């Protein structure tokens, strides 16, 4: 792993987990001291994070952590619903045996991690998020469209730091059976029930957005002053 990749991983982790607050300036001197790295790998990492919309850059002011916004969150999730339901439809149409096997394996790994993450250990929570990403990526991997897969991953990254507070506040969503939703989504996908599977995926993502809106309104996912009105759906 290169220094730039390490810098990217460290900074991205701190942004997602809240160690670097929304709007916080990312001055090179303080970043170099924090991560014990030179300016070059840090600048490369920040430029990459800017392309992922986790960091913003203003002329003469340098980099800062991108602000959180309920409007941005809904925009990203609604767009993700459009992209991923189409990718899932195509994956169900074109997916082969290897695609099916990858979905089953990803779901099994995710299910195991859900139980481990109940210990509320930060590393376990991070692994849960990683396996969650792998499962959702596996569902659409057979779509035969690199553009859809690329857009889907960018949108996943965009919403990850909104979801992270939900991982450590899962008791607030105790009435929802998220593992059950994943299992049902897998079953419908493997049965090649495209309409049902796409409806399940849309509902799954929308319910997550609703919970995130609730957490953000309560100030759990961001300072109250950062919260904006959600757009009409």
Q: Is the pLDDT of residue 172 over 70?
A: no
Residue 83 has pLDDT above 80, yes or no: yes
Share of the chain above pLDDT 90, in %: 58
* pLDDT value for 212: 84
Q: Taking a C-beta distance cutoff of 8 angstroms, is the pair 152, 83 a contact?
A: yes
> Chain centroid to CA 132: how far?
9
Lowest mean pLDDT among 24-33, 48-57, 97-106, 218-227: 218-227
Evaluated on CA atoms 221, 226, 229, 233, the torsion sign reads negative
- Residues sharing a CB contact under 8 Å with residue 146, sequence separation 6 or more, in sequence order: none
- State whether the Cα torsion 155-161-162-163 is positive or negative: positive
Q: Has residue 225 got a pLDDT over 70?
A: no
Cβ 137 vs Cβ 99: under 8 Å: no
CATH architecture of 3-65: Orthogonal Bundle (1.10)
pLDDT at 224: 33
Average pLDDT over residues 216-229: 48
Distance CA 162, CA 209 (A): 9
For the chain, residues classed under CATH 1.20.120.530 are 70-226
Quote the CA–CA distance of 154 and 147 in Å, as a whole number. 11
Residue of 138, 141, 160 lying closest to 212 (CA atoms):
160
- Domain formed by 70-226, architecture: Up-down Bundle (1.20)
Q: Which residue has the higher pLDDT, 17 or 183?
A: 183
CATH 1.10.10.10 region(s) of the chain? 3-65
Predicted pLDDT at 202: 96
Q: Does the structure show a pLDDT above 50 at 221?
A: no
Tell me 66's DSSP state: P
């Amino acid at each position: 792993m290169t220094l730039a990749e390490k810098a990217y991983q460290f900074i991205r982790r701190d942004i997602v987990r809240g160690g670097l607050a929304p709007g916080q300036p990312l001055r090179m001197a303080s970043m170099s001291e924090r991560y014990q790295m030179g300016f070059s790998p840090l600048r490369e990492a920040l430029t990459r994070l800017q392309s992922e919309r986790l960091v913003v850059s203003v002329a003469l002011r340098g980099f800062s952590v991108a602000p959180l916004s309920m409007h941005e969150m809904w925009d990203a999730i609604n767009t993700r619903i459009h992209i991923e339901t189409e990718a899932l439809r195509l994956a169900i149409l074109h997916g082969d045996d290897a695609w099916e096997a990858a979905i089953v394996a990803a779901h099994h790994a995710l299910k195991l991690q859900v139980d481990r993450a109940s210990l509320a250990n930060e590393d376990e929570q991070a692994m849960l998020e990683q396996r969650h990403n792998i499962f959702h990526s596996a569902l659409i991997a057979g779509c035969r469209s690199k553009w859809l897969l690329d857009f889907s991953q960018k949108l996943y990254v965009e919403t990850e730091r909104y979801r992270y507070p939900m991982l450590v506040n899962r008791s607030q969503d105790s009435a929802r059976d998220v593992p059950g939703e994943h299992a049902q989504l897998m079953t419908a996908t493997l049965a090649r029930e495209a309409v049902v599977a796409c409806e399940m995926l849309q509902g799954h993502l929308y319910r997550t957005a609703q919970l995130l809106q609730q957490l953000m309104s309560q100030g759990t996912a961001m300072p109250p002053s950062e919260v904006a009105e959600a757009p009409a759906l």
